[in-house]
């Protein structure tokens, strides 16, 4: 899923780029032990909360890819 997030981090859609970059940063922080699994999952879920994402998302395919990639990262914790 990190490949999808890396692609999304430079896909040209500001709302997706921000969230993908943050998800990648969170994965790195978790890998370093800077945040625990519970914090990691909560922060990832914050990135895809539907009310905020719905108001910003302008492309369903990109939104779906973002939500799926972040959900997979969260489930791996």
10-58 pLDDT, tens per residue?
999 999 999 999 999 999 999 999 999 999 999 999 998 877 888 888 8
b/e code 16-53 from CB counts within 10 Å (16+ = b): bbebbebbbebbeebeeeebeeeebbebbeebbeeeeb
pLDDT of residue 72: 92
Quote the number of domains for the chain. 1
Whole-model pTM: value is: 0.87
The pLDDT assigned to 76 comes to 83
CA distances from 51 to 29, 38, 65 (A): 26, 22, 17
What pLDDT does 46 receive?
93
Contact by Cβ (8 Å): 74, 5: no
Phi-psi region at 33: left, alpha or beta (left = phi > 0; alpha = psi -120 to 50): left
């Amino acid at each position: 899923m990190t490949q999808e997030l890396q692609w999304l981090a430079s896909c040209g859609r500001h709302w997706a780029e921000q969230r993908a970059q943050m998800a990648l940063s969170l994965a790195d922080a978790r890998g370093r032990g800077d945040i625990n699994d519970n914090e990691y999952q909560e922060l990832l879920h914050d990135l895809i909360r539907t009310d905020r994402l719905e108001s910003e998302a302008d492309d369903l395919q990109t939104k779906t890819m973002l939500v799926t990639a972040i959900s997979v990262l969260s489930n791996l914790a």
